[in-house]
Amino acid sequence: MSRRHAITTGCVLVIAALTSAPVPVAAQPRKANTSAAWKPPAGMIEALQRDLHLTREQAQTRLLNETRLATVEADLRGKLGARFAGSWFVGTVAQRLVVATTSEADIPQIVATGARAEIVSRSLSDLAAIKEQVDSTLAARESTGAVRYVDVRTNKVVVLSKEVTVATDVLENSGADPVAVKVEPSNETPRLLDDLVGGSAYYIGTTERCSIGFSVTRSPQNGFVSAGHCGKQGDTTSGSNRLPQGVFQGSVFPGSDYSWVSVNANWTPTPTVNNGTGNTVPVAGARPAIEGASVCRSGSTTGWHCGTIQQRDTSITYPQGTVYGLVRTDVCAEPGDSGGSFISVDQAQGVTSGGSGNCLAGGVTYFQPVNEILSAYGLTLTTSGATPPATNPPGTSPCSGYPKTVTGKLNDGQSVYQPNNRYYQTAAPGRQSACLDSDDNVDFDLFLQKWNGTSWVTVATSDSPGPDEQVGYTGTRGYYRYRVTSASGSGSYTLKYKTS
């Protein structure tokens, strides 16, 4: 909730939409590769150690498992179709993927991937229909059932209520299936928590503060996405430096909780999220994470915190109205964090809506999925072009279709600027993209930088643990350059790139 609301009501954070004022292919799971070559986003390992109580090796292994098994899950989800009933990770390091189905005939193909099969009576679409009925019954009853979600692990729709007996009676009278719907006691009371870098502060008017979600473009306009309750269409914003920044072009709340803000020419979108250490993590895409996956949140009040994805398709009844389709996590948050980034490894997940508790005692926080926002407004997420760990066939090049080429050699730890230790100029806004093809035995990284009038700013990053990298960035006209760095090893490279 916005600090403006907090001051007016004198509420303590319980579930606040975080505003503030003034994302095995073998029959048995394989141990992930935890060699020095694996480099997760900066600050993520440390946050997972702190918030999930893991060792450094466990945190590193968990991220590798989540990245690897996400591909397995996506393939099975497509093959099972209407029989698919959800999926989730189990184990301290997400070492096992569980996939639920309504048909025993699917067991062999699930087990063949190394996943565990669960046979259930209701498909994911069945659960969604049941939850829709529950929502229509309880949406206007805040104390009776403020939180409702689909729990794929139990194959039920769960209602969290302060009045279990009352909620149970109301649902029974509505005709809801008592076997498919479970009411659990809970004291959660939903209320709102209110260059462009995810998690950074921005201000609406003179007193209300929210957090940036992710940089986006709707050509030729740059901007960012955030929570809908942070401002209404036409409201103006200022940045963390209190200088003029932008205008809300669209905002939805309640029903959903999302917005997008267009920014003026002084603000450059970056594919990054603050990680609370003075550094950033790259945003490479927006692939939804599997339930049980680790997820980290960045906000302007509490900074960088991590946890896991608990449930999807969650409905929250705030005092201001009901929001549907949120994702439930066990990440903490506080007022002012609203709108801030949720990211899983390097994949954007959503923007912070509300939460319960705080970052001292812990809590529950909900986010609005980012892909819904992009689709609603026709926006393009600003991404780094970084990809999860992958292996190219020896001797093959991942780069093609880039008209300009430069080559060079680097020693271990060395860096160089290209083209030709200089820069290039673009005469119009557009897309800058590049591909780095290096020797197979090295780990070279690629950074795209833009001149902001006083210094070079990194606007796109690709730093996977392998030799090959790709970056892409849509920006304004100006001066750009590439920085090629050896994180490990010495060898040759070829940089191919396109300019607008």
- Active-site hit among 300, 315, 338, 344: 338
| DSSP assignments along 144-193, one per residue | T-SEEEEETTTTEEEEEES-HHHHHHHHHHHT--TTTEEEEE----B-B-
3-class state of residue 71 by DSSP: helix
Residue 195: name the closest of 265, 245, 267 by CA.
267
Please report the beta strands in 279-423, taking only residues with DSSP state E, as ranges in sequence order.
280-282, 294-299, 303-318, 321-329, 341-344, 347-358, 362-369, 380-381, 404-410, 415-418
Q: Do 318 and 338 meet the contact criterion of CB atoms below 8 Å apart?
A: no
Q: Would you state the structure tokens that stand for residue 38, as one six-digit string?
A: 């694996």
Residue 294: name the closest of 341, 329, 325, 334 by CA.
329
**Among this protein's residues, is 257 annotated catalytic?**
yes
**Among this protein's residues, is 2 annotated catalytic?**
no
Q: Do 194 and 18 meet the contact criterion of CB atoms below 8 Å apart?
A: yes
Distance CA 477, CA 248 (A): 24
**Among this protein's residues, is 338 annotated catalytic?**
yes
Please give the C-alpha separations between residue 301 and each of 18, 202, 245, 304, in angstroms, as whole numbers: 9, 11, 20, 9
- Active-site hit among 51, 87, 135, 229: 229
- Active-site hit among 194, 195, 257, 468: 257
Residue 430: name the closest of 385, 497, 471, 476 by CA.
476
Known catalytic residues are 229, 257, 338
